[in-house]
Amino acid sequence: MALPPAKGSELKRLIQQQLQKMDVHGRIREVLAETIREELAPEHQQLSMEDLIKALRQRGIIDDVMKELKFVTDVNGKERTSSPKPSTHFVDREPPVLKKTNIDPTRRYLYLQVLGGKAFLEHLQEPDPLPGQICSTFTLCLHFRNQRFRSKPVPCACEPDFHDGFLLEVHKESLGDGSKMVDATTMLSVCDPVHMVLIRTDTFGETTLVASYFLEWRSVLAAENGITNVAVELLGVGTESKVSVGVLNIRLEMYPPLSKTLSPEITNTQFTLERQKIAEKERLFLVYAKQWWREYLQIRPTHNSRLVKIFAQDENGVNRPVCSYIRPLRAGRLLDTPRQAARFVSVLGYERAPVIGGGGGKQEQWCTLLAFICRNKGDCEDHANLLCSLLLGYGLEAFVCVGTKAKGVPHTWVMTCGTDGTVTFWESLTGHRYIHRPINPDDPPIVEQPKPLYPYRTIGCVFNHQKFYGNCQPSDAVEVCVFDLHDESRWKPMSAEAIKSVCSPGTASSVPPFPPLCASAIDAAVTSNDLELQLRILVSEHRKDLGLSTVWDDHLSYLLSPALAAYELERATGISAGNEEFQDAVRRAVPDGHTFKGFPIHFVYRNARRAFATCLRSPFCEEIICCRGDQVRLAVRVRVFAYPESACAVWIMFACKYRSVL
């Protein structure tokens, strides 16, 4: 079968690359010299092609080349690499899929390569992982102009072996020019940095934010040949934001190459002008914020103790206006309703910012959105900011509230104001919603007052991406607050223009752009099966230690599925459904004279051993797992519900049935 000319030239190019890689030409020259020296008489210096091939075959060079060559075959429309399999057994493992990136030749790209790291001194004593051993890993996450990338995990080491390349499209957003290739001058005005977040994942799957860095990539516009190498020093986060954690070697390259590069003086002047413009805007906003705060304190001296938060520190220790942490965020087709969005935010893990040393003080750290969703966990402020952004994306009038819970613990939650005046509180850590009905303290005692169901005690301020209001009512107790934000005698507003000057994304702004949400990479069915199998083993081992045998009832396990689906539906929508069918099925599955017990529990992580240890701490669950009696049959069902960013809600139900013996 004749190859098309294009395929033939491609095949020749691949073979040529392989020959160069193995230095075959050098080896042929050595064999040729050796053959002439040893096998031919001095008077005969002629060597035929057959003699040379015979010599190469005898030394195994031709066999080496054929082993190294891999051919691509088209299987079911996918490109796969053929790999030899032994005839004695069958390995049920798919060969790696060759991935191709579609490159539009009319667009400009920035090719960012990470060529290893060094000086990660915290891992200086870490031994090299043994083959097959689970070890802690580093993962690098990138965001640039609505594009997100994630590196392959590499073992944590003093010099981590990062070798990844990312193709970032440098596109224009102006109408009509989107299809034109951008030149160097136009790219100089694209001031969005490449946001890089380094995550460490330990052997138990727990994630830690190591560093967050904004890379200024435009230096490549003034580099010779459009290529530059940068050593990026990563600093720690929170209390360690001034401490170096390591260095990444990065290579930047423009594709297609620039026909004309800029001079370093031009790029440096642009950077200086941008910094000056941002600094001036931030200085003016700080002057305004101080004036606003002085006026707020003059209304009532007790205002000094209210939680009015105008600035907050991000993971790098940079003070930013709180309004800059909010922006209307659309979830595309990943989330369908505001309540589903609230459920998604609630299954992201909750973790307070770490503090070195005691004292019980709360370390303040409001994370940028990329750092929060890449780590998959954060503090209550991170959850509230994300939920408020999503609700704004759904067209609701949403605000983040800063106040306290019981015992004066600082807390943030979300509030939406309906067009009919209804005020709804959304707890971002649980997804619960509460309707606010204010108590009128001037009503006579005979008037029945609404009993608040929410856990919030006081409120100091509310804000979103455009507005900021300080609570100036006589009492900051939530239950008596009236949320008429247009009444300046109750809520002191900040200038919308002042907020816009520092919080709106634009050409001269220090506000990091918001990344888009990514679909889940978790296969819910496979993960559910894996967890269920692990829990069965753990239960059997636990009962064996107690001297008890274990008999599993697969049918009863299957019958638990509708209950778990109903629990998740209720959490996501507030609607309970399907309970009657579940109860009827269980009654049919449990014979007369037998007792049925079930225990559902919910987690936001996928660690079976950790979940089992938590379940055993519940006396109800321990009673089921350690059940004794006649004809004991055990059941367990796991149902994983996947959400964007690989967040998940894990529902587990343990059950047993046994003959009641008096």
Report phi then psi at 494, rounded to 5.
Answer: -95, 155
The amino acid that residue 607 corresponds to is N
| Domains defined along the chain, listed by start | 109-172+181-262 (2.60.40.150), 273-352+364-503 (3.10.620), 524-659 (3.40.33.10)
Q: What share of the chain is helix, strand, coil (3-state, %, to 5)?
A: 35, 25, 40
Distance CA(596)–CA(590), nearest Å, equals 7
Distance CA(485)–CA(661), nearest Å, equals 65
Length of the chain: 662
Distance CA(328)–CA(343), nearest Å, equals 18
> Which residues are bridge partners to 154 per DSSP?
138
In contact, 188 and 270? CB cutoff 8 Å: yes
500: tokens are 């816009």
Beta strands in 375-490 (DSSP E): 377-378, 398-404, 410-417, 423-426, 433-436, 458-463, 468-471
Cα Rg of the chain (Å, integer): 32
Predicted pLDDT of residue 258: 85
In contact, 464 and 473? CB cutoff 8 Å: no
In contact, 577 and 569? CB cutoff 8 Å: yes
Contacts 24+ apart (CB under 8 A), 545-552: 546/626, 548/626, 548/628, 550/634, 551/632, 551/633, 551/634, 552/633, 552/634, 552/635, 552/636
Name the pairing type of β-strands 349-350 and 377-378.
Answer: parallel
Predicted pLDDT of residue 87: 35
Predicted pLDDT of residue 81: 38
Low pLDDT (below 70) residues in the chain: 1-12, 14, 17-22, 24-26, 28-29, 31-49, 52, 56, 60-102, 129, 132, 172-180, 354-362, 441-444, 446-447, 506-510, 661-662
Q: Tens digit of pLDDT for each residue in 187-207?
A: 888 888 999 999 999 888 889
Q: ∠ at Cα 367 (363, 372), nearest 5°?
A: 120
Coil, strand or helix: which one is 659? strand
Q: Tens digit of pLDDT for each residue in 98-129?
A: 455 667 777 889 999 999 999 898 877 777 76
Dihedral angle, C-alpha 536, 537, 543, 548, nearest 10 °? 90
Predicted pLDDT of residue 224: 82
pTM of the model: 0.81
Predicted pLDDT of residue 447: 67
Element of type H or E holding 640: strand 630-642
Does residue 321 have a cis peptide bond before it, meaning omega lies within 30 degrees of 0? no
In contact, 586 and 633? CB cutoff 8 Å: no
